[in-house]
Each structure stands twice: as C-alpha cells, then as structure tokens.
C-alpha cells in the first residue's frame, strides 16, 4: 500500500512540476495576500507583528483551498474523473498518496509565505523548533482534511464553489491551534505552544485515520 501511495504521490508531484500551476499562480497569490494584509492593517508594524501568526495561517488556509482544488482537478481534467477508480488501487493508498503530495506542495508554499511574513511584518522567531513542528503537523492536518473534502464534489461539477464552505469551517480548530502555537514561537502571546501542537496532532490523526477509512466511500461515483 505504501508503494502504491508513493506512486500516486509521485505522479501528483510530477504533474505539478510540469504544469507549474502552484509556482506560477498560487505562489504569487500567497505573496499578494500578505501584501493585502499589510494594506488592510494600515502599515502599522506593531499591529502586524502582533497579528502575524493569525494572518499567516489565514493565508495558508486560502492557499490550501486553491491547492486542494488543483489536486482534485488533476484527476478530473480531460473528463476522466473515474481515472483513479479504474486504477484499481486501494482507496486508502490513493488517499495517502494524494494527501502526501498535497502536504509537500503546501509545505513549500508555507516556506515562501513564512519568509514573506518574517521580512514584511518584521517578525522574529524565538522558538524555531516549535515553529517547524507546528508547520509540519498543521500541514499534515490540512492535507488530510483537504484530500477528503477535495474528492467530495468530484463528478458533480460544482467543486469550485462548494469546497471553501465545506472545508474552511472544519479547519477552524487548525487555524486556532496553529495561530496560538506560532504566536508562542514568535514570542507574541503567552500560550503553551507545545500543548497546542498536541491538539493539532490529534486533529491530524483523526483526519488521517478517517480518510484512510472513508476515502473508498467518497471515491465511488455510482
């Protein structure tokens, strides 16, 4: 199963590598979001520094919606939405593969976004280990939930409008937890970042397990 999921993940990453949708369209969008936050908050560096953690994760969620849509679109282009079904692979393996590819893509975008936030909002990172662990665990949670929701509308032709209203409320705990943990890592709020990381971890585990179990039910189109 791990082998099959690596095949799927490798294929998704290769599609991305060739099409450059994330690098050419989504990455600039992430920078744009950061700049817009700067405008909206009146170029007040103190405010930006205090809210940087929250703004960062709001931006990540917006980017995640686009990345999830893209991940689902890879399978539905050319009117071939039963492609993954015909592969005959275990749905759990497909889930792991697509989630892993999404995880890698999101992490790459987060590095870019993080650099932009640190530079533009003048944030200093106090606790690098906490920052990195939070990013990894939160991204795993987003990738797992995103992969589950991404397949929901496949074959129904309403993906673009349906996905955000389904996915974003579910990710609210990720937003809260990751923001707190980042706030701690930035030294801006008095919170126990590691405890929040634990909560993020349980969210990620719940969604990964749920995805492994339920992906087959979601994938079938008839």
- Binding-site ranges for other proteins (CB under 8 A): 4, 7, 11, 14-15, 18-19, 74, 77-80, 82-83, 85-90, 148, 152-153, 155-156, 158, 162, 165-166, 168-170, 172-173, 176-177, 180, 195-196, 199, 202-203, 206, 210, 214, 216-218, 220-222
User: Closest distance between other proteins and the C-beta of residue 115, in Å?
Assistant: 27
Rounded CA-CA distance 221/120 in Å is 46
Rounded CA-CA distance 172/136 in Å is 17
For other proteins, the closer of residues 116 and 197 by Cβ is: 197
User: Closest distance between other proteins and the C-beta of residue 35, in Å?
Assistant: 27
For other proteins, the closer of residues 63 and 141 by Cβ is: 141
Backbone angles phi, psi at 171, to 5 degrees: -85, 0
Please name the residue ranges forming H helices in 20-89.
Answer: 21, 27-40, 45-76, 83-86
Nearest CA among 173, 180, 153, 156 for reference residue 165: 153
Alpha-carbon Rg for the chain, nearest whole angstrom, is 18
3-state class (DSSP) for residue 175: helix
For other proteins, the closer of residues 31 and 92 by Cβ is: 92
For other proteins, the closer of residues 16 and 34 by Cβ is: 16
User: Closest distance between other proteins and the C-beta of residue 43, in Å?
Assistant: 26
User: Closest distance between other proteins and the C-beta of residue 122, in Å?
Assistant: 26
Q: State the helix-helix crossing angle for 45-76 and 128-152, rounded to 10 degrees.
A: 40
**What is the distance between the terminal CA atoms of the chain, rounded to a whole angstrom?**
24
For other proteins, the closer of residues 17 and 132 by Cβ is: 17
User: Closest distance between other proteins and the C-beta of residue 204, in Å?
Assistant: 11
């Amino acid at each position: 199963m791990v082998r099959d999921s690596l095949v799927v993940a490798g294929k998704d990453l290769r599609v991305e590598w060739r099409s450059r949708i994330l690098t050419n369209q989504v990455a600039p969008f992430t920078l744009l979001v950061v700049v817009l936050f700067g405008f909206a908050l009146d170029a007040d560096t103190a405010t930006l520094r205090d809210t940087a953690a929250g703004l960062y994760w709001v931006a990540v969620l917006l980017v995640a919606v686009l990345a999830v849509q893209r991940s689902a679109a890879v399978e539905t282009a050319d009117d071939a939405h039963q492609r993954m079904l015909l592969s005959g692979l275990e749905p759990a393996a497909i889930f792991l593969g697509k989630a892993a590819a999404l995880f890698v893509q999101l992490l790459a975008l987060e590095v870019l976004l993080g650099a932009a936030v640190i530079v533009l909002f003048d944030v200093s990172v106090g606790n690098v280990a906490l920052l990195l662990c939070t990013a990894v665990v939160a991204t795993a949670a987003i990738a797992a939930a995103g992969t589950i929701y991404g397949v929901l509308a496949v074959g129904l032709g309403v993906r673009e409008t349906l996905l955000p209203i389904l996915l974003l409320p579910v990710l609210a705990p990720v937003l809260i937890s990751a923001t707190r943990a980042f706030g701690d890592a930035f030294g801006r709020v008095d919170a126990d970042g590691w405890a929040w990381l634990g909560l993020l971890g349980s969210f990620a585990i719940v969604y990964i397990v749920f995805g492994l179990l339920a992906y087959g039910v979601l994938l079938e189109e008839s």
